[in-house]
Amino acid sequence: MKKHILILSLTLLAAVFANANNDAYEKAMLKEIKTMGQAGPVEEMQKSANAFARIADMNEGQWLPDYYAALAYANMGFRSQGSLEEKDGYYSQAKKHIEKANALSPNNSEIVAVQGYITMGELAADSNSRGQSLSGVAMQTFGKAIELNRQNPRAIILMAQMEYGMAQFFGQGPEKACGLVDASLGLFAKEAAEAKEGNLNPTWGKRLAEEMKERSCK
Amino acid sequence: MKVLFTICLFFLVNLTLAQTMIKGTVKDARGETIPGVNIFLKGTYDGTSSEVNGTFVLETEEKGNFILVFQAMGFKSQEIEIVLDGGEKNFNPVLREAINEMTAVTITAGAMEASDEKRAVVLRPIDIVTVPSAMGDIIGAFQTLPGTANVGNDGRLFVRGGDASETSIFIDGMKVGNAFGTTASNVPTRTRFNPNLFKGSFFSTGGYSAEYGHALSSALVLSTVDAPVRNQADISLLSVGMGYSQTLVGEKNSLTASANFMDLSPYQAMVTQNFDWERAPYGWDAEVSLRQKWGKSGMVKAYAHTESGGMKIWQKVPGTEGRGQLVDLKNHYTFASGSFKQTGKNDWSYYGGISYSNNVDEFTLNQIDIRNQNQIMHAKAVALKGFSDKFSLKTGMESYFFNYEEGLRSEGLVWDFTDLQGNIFTEADYYVSNKLVFRGGLRAGHSVLADQTWIDPRFSLAYKFENEGQLSFAAGKFSQMPVEQLRIAKPEVQNVKADHLILNYFLTKNGRTLRAEAFYKNYNKILTYEGSQYFYRNIQQSGTGYAQGFDVFYRDQKSVKNTDFWVTYSFVDSRRKFAQFTELVQPGFAPRHNASIVVKHFVSKLKSQLGGSFAINDGYTYTDPNFTGQMNAKTEGFRDLSLSWSYLPKPNLIIHFACSNVLGRDNIFGYQFSPQPNEAGQYESLPIRQTAPRFIFLGIFLTLSKDKTANNLNNL
């Protein structure tokens, strides 16, 4: 009997620990995702990036912490007012994290979309000399993300931005890009309706679509 | 029950323990605070980031021995063992700078790089294709860069007082023999390779790495595209021919196959020519390029190019009447290479490959049939080891096989020679900091035919200033076997030697690039001879020479909207005793003053890029036998204004129009003199002119892709 109690207690203990661990992960992630959603300048984003990097270290099998760390670094690149070197530094950190995420979860539309987002950032940092070589790569990557999941609104809104840039460059109308914006808005709405409490999966990007709709597709 | 009780107690105790507060400020070696440092206890969720002023506060409920980690971009991580026992702890770590490949100083002495990936570059690959005067030839673009001379009757690359043979060309690290098409004398040639094949280039006008040998003045290293983006077909229609290229892309591999055909006859029928063509230049080429990813980071490439072409031209002989002599030329050429690169464990990486070039020229000259064949095989293996972020060592082995045969077939005269060369090289890079790097290298070689062993030491360093400008210095010894036409006449000839000294300043910032360089080059063991090809006599190897000067390059993509321009000036003071000369002279291929301007302007409304380039020099020396002395005369300066218009009506269609020498200047590159004086005792002369007053290029480039993503988008 004693033996049974011991085994039972040990099992319980293990379960408690495992649960605690999982709880801690989810708690930490939820908190940081919220913080990142409100983070403004580069310095605040850096804190989010650091926090996700810490969570990634603690949960080596999870792709989401690295995914968010990459996203934070990419956002830093976009928001930075600093030198090209500084921006490239952020993008190289972003790439490091997204590659880790990609290794953990290959052919993941969300990850591929952020890969494209990073390429887009590198392009924007020095469009004069990088435009020609990177715009094709960015579009290709967003295309792949869409192919992997046609319901991914982030892949679609990012592609819309590239399409819009191309159309402007060649003096064409924004119809195609705006079609994509509308498609993404629909998917964002669907995503919001379906989102459950405690969801850790990516939901960002709606604001991007709304801004673009407001600015370019009226 | 007891067990459960203990567990509960354990949790309780844990909860009631006092917090430990860790505080401090993070600074770098210079005492400046570092914001955004990731600070955490290893193995826990407890962590924080340093504030803008470098301070941090980390509160934790953990207890016992832990490791406190400090991580920040651009710095080496620091780990501190710490005992958590409640209360307050102070840490003020100093983080050491990490060597950052992307931002660290790079050695730019002698080098001009075109790359989309690296930072210290002069051009992007796309810029090369769009230089107006280049007419789609990669070399034409390099001729607008500092250190080069425009020698319009030759077309090859002349670097800092060196002749064209002193520039060695490599594709993916492998030697390319006869990279330029064979041509008749004074008819300019072009490179055989399509510029779209390459993703980047490294062009060095001196002081280059110990990795590159068999190059006296200059190395041009071209890298082929790694991974094409999509399946596509490229169709080109040109005023002088047409081409088709198909690219297929797989998950881990890709294939590009292309074929081109050119014939200048229809063009020459429409546009006035200075030369007396019997048959305008014609030719075709075909090439296949295969790329296969090898594991996670490796790559294997195979490339094969084959082509065939010819021309027939009447060349006037000074002092005689009539059309002169007929040169009938046919050329067959093949280049094949395989190369690999792979990253191993523990910071080892490897690359290497093998290449083979075979060039056959068949001439008929004054009813004499001539056939020359040049074969070069090159094999190379390099291992690179990073011992730390500061120190890396590159070591490699190379072997060359040269075989050259030349013959006056109709006379029954055939000669040939074969040489084997072995080379080893090693080179160490040491980064003192992100601002200072040293590089030292040694290259040793042995030639079986010349029975000569040599060692060439090379050294360079670079320092980066606060304003991102950097100063580089390079020095070294360089060797190259004489050209095969001379080696065959005297197989025991030894290496020609050169010493390079280079001081370079390079600054690129906010879309502007400034590059200034001073150089001194010393030549030894240059060959002198009497007679001409097939009949060289009295070959001596006692010629010497020097080249010294400076050049300046400024590029600006920022100051004028939608405009990119660069300005180059090169001053070269070169004298050498070479070829038939018996004293130091200024070579005909080394004008003293060279300048060029390239401007590209994008007009969104017209969906067009307008381009212009202007090149000027102070003229070419030549020997006028009517006066005493050698190289006693100089032509008028060369001047060329080229304009181009690229029209992009759709993303996949480019119409490119270019015209060289818009102003129609009659550029003279030298004079040919009659071998004997006429009755009046004068040597009669004929100017060496351009092939035509202008060259007009019209090309339509259409890309067709069944891009799946494009289809997807339309269906959304």
> Which residues 173-212 of B are in CB contact (within 8 Å) with A?
none
The residue-averaged pLDDT of A105-128 equals 93
Instruction: Show which of B43, B65, B95 is a domain's final residue.
Output: B95
Distance from CA of A91 to the nearest CA of B (A): 11
What is the domain extent for residue B554?
111-294+303-371+404-416+445-715
B462/B162 Cα distance (integer angstroms): 25
> Which residues 541-570 of B are in CB contact (within 8 Å) with A?
557, 564
Q: Is B648 on the interface with A (CB under 8 A)?
A: yes
- Is B79 in the same domain as B122? no
- Is B489 in the same domain as B594? yes
What ipTM does this complex have?
Answer: 0.86
Condensed to tens digits (0 to 9), the pLDDT of residues B245-274 reads 999 998 899 999 999 999 999 999 998 899
B474 falls within a domain: yes
Instruction: Show which of B95, B124, B151 is a domain's final residue.
Output: B95
Condensed to tens digits (0 to 9), the pLDDT of residues B462-503 reads 999 988 899 999 999 999 999 999 999 999 999 999 999 999
We report the CATH number of the domain holding residue B88 as 2.60.40.10
- Is B74 in the same domain as B182? no
Instruction: Show which of B52, B69, B95 is a domain's final residue.
Output: B95
Instruction: Round the CA-based radius of gyration of chain A to a whole number and report it.
Output: 20
pTM of the predicted protein model: 0.87
Enumerate the H helices of B100-191 as residue ranges.
125-129, 138-142
Count structural domains, chain B.
2
- Is B134 in the same domain as B248? yes
For residue B607, list chain A residues with Cβ-Cβ distance below 8 A: 170-171
Higher-confidence residue: B328 or A129?
B328
Q: Amino acid identity of B60?
A: T
- pLDDT at residue A52, rounded to an integer: 96
- Is B688 in the same domain as B648? yes
- Is B564 in the same domain as B673? yes
- Is B130 in the same domain as B203? yes
B631/B326 Cα distance (integer angstroms): 28
Those residues of chain B that have pLDDT short of 50 are 9, 12-16, 708-716
Q: Is B390 on the interface with A (CB under 8 A)?
A: no
- pLDDT at residue A185, rounded to an integer: 95
- pLDDT at residue B436, rounded to an integer: 95
Condensed to tens digits (0 to 9), the pLDDT of residues A165-190 reads 888 877 778 888 999 999 999 999 99
Torsion of CA B358, B362, B365, B367, to 10 degrees: 150
For residue A143, list chain B residues with Cβ-Cβ distance below 8 A: 707-710, 712-713
- pLDDT at residue B12, rounded to an integer: 47
Residue B429 CA, distance from chain mean position: 21
> Which residues 480-519 of B are in CB contact (within 8 Å) with A?
511
B336 falls within a domain: yes
For residue A62, list chain B residues with Cβ-Cβ distance below 8 A: none
B47/A57 Cα distance (integer angstroms): 12
- Is B76 in the same domain as B171? no
B250 falls within a domain: yes
- Is B597 in the same domain as B673? yes
DSSP A37-99: HH--SHHHHHHHHHHHHHHHHH-TT-SHHHHHHHHHHHHHHHH--S-HHHHHHHHHHHHHHHH
B167-171 and B218-224 as β-strands: parallel, antiparallel, unpaired?
A: parallel
- Is B363 in the same domain as B214? yes
The helix/strand/coil state of A79 is helix
For residue A180, list chain B residues with Cβ-Cβ distance below 8 A: 713, 716
- Is B89 in the same domain as B232? no
Q: Which residues contact A175 (CB under 8 A, 6 or more apart)?
A: none
- pLDDT at residue B106, rounded to an integer: 86
Using CB atoms, which residue from A28, A128, A183 is nearest to B716? A183
For residue B49, list chain A residues with Cβ-Cβ distance below 8 A: 46-47, 50-51
Burial A103-132 (b: 16+ CB within 10 A, else e): ebeeebbbbbbbbbbbbbbbbbbbeebbbb
- Is B180 in the same domain as B37? no
> Which residues 224-243 of B are in CB contact (within 8 Å) with A?
229-230
We report the CATH number of the domain holding residue B578 as 2.40.170
